[in-house]
Amino acid sequence: MSSLILILSLLGGIALCLYGMKVMSQGILKVAGSRMRASLRHISHNRLSSFWTGAWITSIIQSSSAMTIMTVGLVNAGLLSVSQSIALMMGANVGTTLSAWIIATFGFFWNARYLAIPLVVVALPLMYSHLVKARPWGEMLMGVALYILGFTTFIAMMPAPDAEPAAAQLFATLSSWGYWSIFIFVIIGILITVILRSSAAVILLAMALVAKEWLIFPMAAALVIGVNVGTTLTALFATRRTNVSARRSAYSHVLFNLFGMCWALILIYPISEVTWQFVSFGTGFPSPAALAFGIAIFHTSFNFVTALLLIGFIPQIKALVARLLPFVEEDEEELTLQFIQSGLLSTAELSIEEARKETALFAVRCQRMMQLTDDFMRMAADNPQYSHTFSRIEKYEKITDRLELEIVRYLNSLDTSSISGQTAARVRALLRIVDELESIGDACYKLACLVERKNEHKVAFIPMQQQNIGKMLLLVKQALEQMTSLLKKPEMTEADMQRAYNQEDAINALRGQLRELNIASVQNNDYNYQSGMLYMDIINAFEKIGDYVINVLEAHAEPSNFEQHA
C-alpha cells in the first residue's frame, strides 16, 4: 500500500505541476495575449529578432510545446513565414529552459513550498473580484502557486534509492549498458514528453532522479535530450490537416532538434563530465541542489549551442523541407480549409488569427461566386457552357454552407474560459461575419436560379432592363471587392467604414430609382408584368447582397471599437 501511495503522490505532484502551468499560461495569455499576438504579427524578418521573440514569449508562457504549436498555427494562418517560424522555434527551445532554472532554484536550492499558500491567499480575491481586469492576474498567481506546490511535492515525495531497492536495481541495470542506456533514456524522455505534452515535467523528473542518486548524470542528460525531440512530435501530430507551409514549419522543428540530439549524443559523456566538475567546484562531490543546477545548465547550453550552430542555415533548412514537402496545388472549387485544421492548433488566445484568415478567404470565394454568377447571367441558354456554369454555382453554394459550418464549429470549440474580452468580441464578430458570407453565397445562387427561371419561361429583358441590371451588378461587385480587401486587414478605420456606407447608399439609391422606374414601365407597357417581376427580383437580390456586405464590415469593425473602449 505504501508503494501505491508513493506512486500516486508522485503522479499527483506532476499533475499539480502541469495543471498549475496550464492555469498560469491561461492567465498570462489573458493579461498579455493581445500584446503577444501583436509581437508575433509584426515580427521582422531578422533571424535574431525572431529568435529572441520566441525565447521571451516561451519564457513567459513556460511551454515550448505551446509556443511551437502556436507558431505553426500562425504559419498556417499566413501570419508568419517558414523562415521566421524556424528562428522563433529555436528561440522557444532556449526560452523553455527557464523552467529548469525555476525548478532548480525554488525546488532544490530553496524550498518555496510554503510560498504557495500565501500566493493562493492573494490570488483567490483577485480571481473573484468584481474588477474584470483583475481576474486574469488572480488566475496567473493561482497557476504559479499550483506550479510551485506541484514540483516541490514531487521532489519531497521522491524517495532515496535505499527505500525502494527493487526500483533502484532496475535503474542501475538500465544505466549499465553504456550508449545503449543513453538511447533508452532518450526514448523514455521522448515518450514521457509526448504523453504529458510538457517538457518541464521531464526536466523535473531528470533533476529529481539525479539529485536523489537514482541516475548518474549522463542518463539524466539523455532524458533532457529526449525532451526536445518529444516536443517536436507534439507539434507534428497537430499538423495533419494544415497547409503545406505549416507542415514545413513543423518538419523544420523536427530536423533541427534531431540535429541537436545527434551532436549532443556524440559528446554526452565529455559534456556531462565538464558539467559535473563545474557544479561540484572541482571536488567531484556535488550537492543535490548543484546536480539540479547541472541539469539546468546542460538543458540551456544544449539548446543554445544547437540554435547557435543552425541559425545561420535557416535558408538551407527551409529549402530541405521544401524538397521533402513539395507544394501541390489543389482544386479551388473543393472545400479545403487552408488556415484552419481539424483541432485547435494554437492556444485559444491566438488561434483566432487562423479563423480570421479563413474568413477572409471565405470572402474571396464569395467574390469568385459573384463573378461566376455574372458570367452565367450573360450566357445564352443554348451556350455549351450554360449547364456546366450553373452546376459550378450550385457547387459553390454548397461549399459556402460547409465553410460556414466548419468555421463556426472551430470558433465554438475555443476554450472561452481562457480568452480575453477583446478576443471574445472578435469571436462574436467572426461568427456574425461567416453567417453573412454564407448569405451572400445563397443570394448568388438565388440570382442564378432567377436567370434559369427567366430562360425556362422565355422571358426577355429589354435593353433598358439589361443596362440597369449591369449598373447594379457593377456596384455590388465593387462592394464585394471592397469587402474582401478590408477583411484582409486586422482592423478597419473610420474612413474605411464610411466608404463602405457610401457604397451601400449608392446601391440602395439605385434600387429605389429602379423600383419606381419599373412601376412606370409596366404601366406604360414597355414590358409585361412577368418580366417586371423577374427583373425586380434580380435587382432586390443584388440589393440584399449589398446589405450582407455592409453587415460583414460592421461586424469586422466591432472588435476595433471594443479594443478602443476596453
Domain count, the chain: 2
* Same domain for 245 and 306: yes
* Same domain for 363 and 217: no
What 248-251 contacts at long range (C-beta under 8 Å, 24+ apart), as own/partner pairs, is 248/75, 248/82, 248/318, 248/321, 248/322, 248/324, 248/325, 249/71, 249/72, 249/75, 249/80, 249/82, 249/85, 249/86, 249/89, 250/68, 250/72, 251/321, 251/324, 251/325
* Same domain for 143 and 282: yes
Cα–Cα distance for residue pair 67/453, rounded to 1 Å: 55
The three grid cell numbers given for residue 393, joined into one nine-digit string: 454555382
* Same domain for 453 and 307: no
Q: What is the CATH number of the domain that holds 451?
A: 1.20.58.220
Domain ranges, residue 409? 352-565
- Asked if residue 198 is part of any domain, the answer here is yes
* Same domain for 317 and 387: no
**Residues ≥6 apart with Cβ < 8 Å to 138:** 27, 122, 123, 124, 125, 126, 127, 128, 129
- Asked if residue 461 is part of any domain, the answer here is yes
* Same domain for 459 and 320: no
419: left (phi over 0), alpha (psi -120 to 50) or beta: beta
- Asked if residue 334 is part of any domain, the answer here is no
* Same domain for 122 and 252: yes
- Asked if residue 361 is part of any domain, the answer here is yes
Length of the chain: 566
* Same domain for 368 and 292: no
- Asked if residue 337 is part of any domain, the answer here is no
- Asked if residue 346 is part of any domain, the answer here is no
3-state SS, one letter per residue, for 274-342: HHHHHHCCCCCCCCHHHHHHHHHHHHHHHHHHHHHHHHHHHHHHHHHHHHHCCCCCCCCCCCCCCCCCC
- Asked if residue 341 is part of any domain, the answer here is no
Q: What is the pLDDT along the chain (566 residues), one digit of tens a residue?
A: 477 787 888 888 888 888 888 888 777 777 766 666 666 655 656 778 888 888 888 887 777 777 777 777 777 656 677 888 888 889 888 888 888 888 888 878 777 777 888 888 888 888 888 877 788 888 888 888 888 888 888 888 888 777 778 888 888 888 888 889 999 999 999 998 888 877 888 888 888 888 888 888 899 899 999 988 888 887 777 676 666 778 888 889 899 999 999 999 999 999 988 888 888 876 666 788 888 889 999 999 989 999 999 988 988 998 899 888 876 544 444 445 666 654 444 455 556 777 888 898 899 999 999 999 999 998 888 888 889 899 889 888 888 888 888 888 888 877 666 566 777 888 889 999 999 999 999 999 999 999 999 999 888 899 999 999 999 999 999 999 999 999 988 778 889 999 999 999 999 999 999 999 999 998 998 889 889 999 999 999 999 999 999 999 999 987 654 444 34
* Same domain for 450 and 486: yes
* Same domain for 95 and 44: yes
- Asked if residue 202 is part of any domain, the answer here is yes
* Same domain for 233 and 139: yes
